[in-house]
């Protein structure tokens, strides 16, 4: 989705950063404030990690259809534009520092639940699937996610 340097993350997320961000998302989703607090205390860059994770999730849910898919509709362009606005807002919000992490996490969870999960889907399971995708261990279709959408440094063990 990033089409200009202002829209891109400053550096790729390591596998450890991806794992930390998803652990934090799971803790927030489960209402486990103690674990969330511990994770945030261990990693003050959590807001940036969450925004990086959000980029991949938003890309998966809002990107325009590819050449092998049906032609894009007006709704496709609108959803992609809204995704870009959403990511810009998260990037601005992350500048507030570690205190922004809980709000960013809940917003990412709300986005994934409202936009990407079907009625019968479990958000906890969806987070597991997105984490595997973010780590490059799982390839999903365009609706579910794209491994290339996540800026993960594949050279990091």
Q: pTM for the full model?
A: 0.71
Q: Which of 74, 27, 60 is nearest to 138 (CA)?
A: 60
Q: Which domain holds residue 13?
A: 5-149
Q: Is residue 156 part of a domain?
A: no
Distance CA 67, CA 112 (A): 25
Q: Which helix (H) or strand (E) holds 108?
A: helix 101-111
Residue 157 lies in a domain: no
Q: Encode pLDDT of 108-120 as tens digits.
A: 998 888 876 766 5
Q: What domain count does the chain have?
A: 1
Residue 58 lies in a domain: yes
pLDDT in tens, 52-88: 988 888 877 666 666 666 666 666 778 788 888 989 9
- For residue 42, tell me if it sits in a domain: yes
Considering the domain boundaries, does residue 81 fall inside one? Answer: yes
Distance, in Å, from the CA atom of 138 to the CA atom of 46, rounded to the nearest integer, reads: 23
């Amino acid at each position: 989705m990033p089409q200009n340097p202002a829209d891109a993350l400053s550096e790729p997320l390591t596998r450890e950063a991806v794992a930390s961000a998803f652990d934090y998302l799971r803790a927030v989703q489960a209402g486990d404030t103690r674990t969330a607090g511990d994770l945030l205390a261990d990693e003050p860059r959590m807001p940036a990690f969450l925004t990086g994770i959000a980029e991949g999730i938003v890309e998966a849910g809002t990107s325009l259809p590819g050449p092998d898919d049906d032609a894009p509709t007006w709704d496709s362009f609108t959803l992609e534009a809204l995704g870009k606005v959403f990511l810009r807002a998260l990037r601005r919000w992350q500048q507030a520092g570690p205190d922004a992490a809980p709000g960013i996490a809940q917003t990412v969870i709300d986005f994934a639940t409202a936009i990407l999960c079907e009625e019968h889907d479990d958000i906890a399971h969806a987070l597991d699937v997105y984490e595997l995708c973010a780590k490059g261990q799982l390839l999903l279709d365009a609706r579910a996610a794209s491994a290339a959408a996540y800026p993960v440094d594949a050279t990091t063990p």
